[in-house]
Amino acid sequence: MIWGEAVNGVTNVATILIVDDDQQLVNTIVAKLSAAGHVCLRSNDGEKALEILSREAIDLLILDVMIPGISGFEVCRRIHTNTELYALPILFISAMSGEEEVAHGLAQGADDYLPKPFKTDLLLNRVNALLATSARNALTDELTGLPGPKHAKLEIQRAVNLKLRFAVIYAELLHMAEFARALGNEARAKAIRHLGRGLHMCGPEFPSKIFTVGHMGGGHFVCIIEPQLAEDYCRTVGRLWRKHRPALQESLGIPGQASGNFPAGIPEPELLFCIAVHEPSDRGASHEIFETLTHLRQGALAASGAGIYTDRRHAPL
């Protein structure tokens, strides 16, 4: 559903904070968004904007980069270190429209970047798209009950902005397409839920202050943990998967539960783990961590597939 859209006669209203010191532009934006059914608050200062965010329930932030007080980039960074605010959708608007400025703004954790000048119809479209995406991502993943991809990425961005040393583990259940063709989509869903439970259950075994596990869709998961714990965590999840695999086979009516082996013709789901470490000195954003994990995954699949693969460019885990 799009925010501002009437449902059963009731308009779904969003509260939007606009932060810009160009009052004429702010008036124009407020008029456009108000006409679409949204409630608008305004500020012309970065520090004051953070004060408003601390006491008001804001659904979306429209933020200029060059504002009095602290910059829009700094406002964005502070939001993404705050566990109460870090899921807030942020739309940058700025006369700084070069590729580097746009890339830098998105690297701070913003969801979109709209160069000035812009048409208000385009702004409204971007606002509605962000609100709709935020509403979909507000719920946990229906299949596994774990946080979804948006929340997982925000947790990673928060750790980056806090300048923490952490590891991101990419966990994949391999051969899911073939598994579904052999046994059906419900069997595939059961296997994915089985791994999701295992990833979640193993977390408390490790004394981690930052542990998070999220489902990225399909057989793909990510976990955040201290680097020195990452490989042991992966091995523990692997042991738990093998231990409970006969129960999974039994629930699916697959023979061979006693040995834990899958019969011929049914591909065996295997686990792939890729580990990337982020150092506090790294200047890259969360998307660069995912790029590293993608390269590790590609190398792993080109080799043997299942197993634990770690990016060794940083200091030892």
Q: What is the pLDDT of residues 31-55, one digit of tens each?
A: 999 998 899 999 999 999 999 999 9
The pLDDT of residue 7:
35
In the DSSP assignment, the letter for residue 44 is: S
State in words which class domain 6-137 has.
alpha beta
Burial of 130 (0-12, 13-18, 19+ CB in 10 A): buried
Per-residue pLDDT tens over the stretch 113-157: 999 999 999 999 999 888 887 765 655 788 898 988 878 888 888
pLDDT by 10-residue block (mean), the chain, 317 residues: 40 83 96 92 95 93 93 90 82 86 80 91 92 69 86 84 92 90 90 95 92 92 96 96 87 70 78 94 76 90 88 62
The pLDDT of residue 6:
40
The pLDDT of residue 5:
46
- What is the per-residue burial (b if ≥16 Cβ within 10 Å, else e) of 101-125? bbebbbbbbbbbbbeeeeeeeebbe
> Which residues touch 239 (CB under 8 Å, ≥6 apart)?
none
Per-residue pLDDT tens over the stretch 3-16: 444 433 333 578 99
Cis peptide bond N-terminal to 89, omega within 30 = no
Name the residue ranges covered by the structural domains of the chain. Answer: 6-137, 149-310
Q: If we measure between CA atoms, which residue out of 213, 212, 270, 205 comes closest to residue 233?
A: 205
Superfamily of domain 149-310: Reverse transcriptase/Diguanylate cyclase domain (3.30.70.270)
Q: What is the Cα–Cα distance from 16 to 91, expressed in whole angstroms?
A: 11
